[in-house]
Structure 1
C-alpha cells in the first residue's frame, strides 16, 4: 500500500490541488481493487510522512472520501475502505413491497423496528390520508434489510380504520393488507435527492451527509380511497431506479 503514497505520486503540478490528487488516487485504488473493503488506511501522520503532504491536505482528501461513502472512520480504530454494497435496480412501474422485491431476487429479508403504534395524525398525514380531526393513524417505522445489509428506512402511515393493530405487521405490510382485502392497487410516487442526516445515516450504516434517495408514496384502493402514505429513505449507493418510457399515443400515429 505504501507505493500509493510516495512523494513522486504527487509531483505533477498539472494534476490539480494536492488533496484532489490524493482523493483521486485512493478512489482509483478502491475502484481497481488495490484497496479492498475493510482495508485499513495508515494513520494521518503516517500518510503525511509517506507522501510528503501536509496533514491538513491528507485530512481534506480523506474527509471527501468519507463524505462520499468510499471510506468509513471508526473512532479509536482508524479509517477503512467501506464495504461494497451490491447495487439493485428497482422498476418504478410496479407497485410492489420491499419484501416482494427482495424475495424475487432470492434475497433474505429482515426488518429492524424503530417504532409502531396508533397516534394522532400530523398535519401532513391528515392531508395525505384524508383524515378527520379525531381520527387516528397507524405508524410503522423500520429499517429494511437484505442479507443483513440495511438498505432503506421506511416510515409508513395508514388510517387506523385500515390498520387498527400495527403490531400485527410482521414481515410484509402488503401481505397483511392483501389478506384483509385492503392491498393498494395503484400509487403516486415522488423521488428526490437527500443528504442523510446523522440519525438516518447511523440507521443505514453510512457516514452522515452521504447521498440518499427520498421516496414519498401515496397508495390507493380500487375505490380510490387512500390507504397508505409512506416516506422512505434509500441508500444512494445501493439503488438504481428504472422506468420504461414510451412515445405518447399521439406521437406514434403516422402522419396523415
Structure 2
C-alpha cells in the first residue's frame, strides 16, 4: 500500500494531469490484483499526505474510479475496491421471485431489511391494489443481495387482507404467499431507466447518479384479483432483461 501511494513518479510532466496519474495507478493495482475486491483505501487526507498531492487532486481521482464502478464509497466506513459484478440475464416471460431466481442459478440470497410494517395506504397503493378507504397496506422494503453483492432494492405493498403481519416474511414473499394458497400466477411489469439518488446508490454500493432499472410489478391471483404491487430498483451493471418474441 505504501508503494502504491508513494510520491515517486508524480513529477513526470509527460504523464498527464496528476489526478489521472493517481487514477491510473489505483486502476492498475486493481487490475493486477494488488488491490483485491473489498480492500479499503486510506482516507483522502492520508492519501494526500502519502502521495504529496492535494486533497482536491486525490478526491478527483477517487471519484472518477467510483463513477467507473471500480471503487465504492460507504458513508461512515470509507472507500473500498468494488466487487466484480457478474451480468445476469433475466427472462421477462417468467413470474419468479428474486429468491427463486437466485436459487435457480445456485447463488446465495440475503435480505437486508429496511422496513416491515403496516401503514395507511398511499394514493398509489390504493389505485394499484384496489384498496378502500378503511383498508391497510403491508409494506416490505429491503435490499436484495446475492453472494454478498447488493443487486436490487425491493419495495412491495400488499393488502393486509392477504398479509396481515409483514414480519412473517423472512426470505421469500412468494414462498409465504404460496404456503397460504395465494401465489400470484400473472403479473404486469413496467421497466424504465432511472438515475439512482444518494440513498439508493448508497444501498446498492454504486456511485450516485449512475443508471439503474426501475421496475413496477402488479401481480394477480388466478381469480384476477390484484395481490401485490412492487417497485424495484436494479443495478444497471448487473442485469440484462430478455424476452422472447414470436410471430403469431
TM range (shorter): 0.7 to 0.9
- Structure 2 residue matching 1:175: 3-state secondary structure: helix
With the length of structure 2 as denominator, give the TM-score of the two structures.
0.79
Paired residues, number: 241
Range that drifts further, 194-203 or 221-230: 194-203
Partner Cα separation in structure 2 for residue 19 and residue 193 of structure 1: 31
Further displaced range: 154-163 or 210-219: 210-219
1:158 paired residue number: 158
1:44 and 2:48 correspond:
yes
Give the equivalent residue in structure 2 for 1:186.
Answer: 186
Match for residue 233 of structure 1? Answer: 233
Q: Give the secondary structure class of the aligned counterpart of 1:157.
A: strand
Show structure 2 runs of 5+ residues with no match: none
C-alpha deviation, 1:192, in angstroms: 2.3
Give the secondary-structure state (helix, strand or coil) at the position aligned to 1:11.
Answer: helix
Q: What TM-score comes out, normalization by structure 1 length?
A: 0.77
- The alpha-carbon deviation at position 55 of structure 1 amounts to 5.5
CA RMSD for the aligned pairs? 3.2
Please say if 1:243 is aligned against 2:246: no
Report the Cα distance in structure 2 between the residues aligned to 1:116 and 1:75, rounded to whole angstroms: 24
Cα deviation, residue 156, structure 1: 0.4
User: Runs in 1 of length 4+ with deviation above 6 angstroms?
Assistant: 74-78
Residues 115-171 of structure 1: per-residue CA shift (max 9 Å, x gap): 222211001111111112221111111222223333222110012222223222232
State the partner residue of 1:212: 212
- For residue 208 of structure 1, report the CA deviation from its aligned partner: 3.5
Partner of 1:252: none
Q: Which has the larger radius of gyration?
A: 1
Q: Which runs of 5+ in 1 are unaligned?
A: 250-256
Name the structure 2 match of 1:6.
Answer: 9
Q: What is the alpha-carbon distance in structure 1 between the residues aligned to residue 29 and residue 124 of structure 2?
A: 46
Match of 2:122 in 1: 122
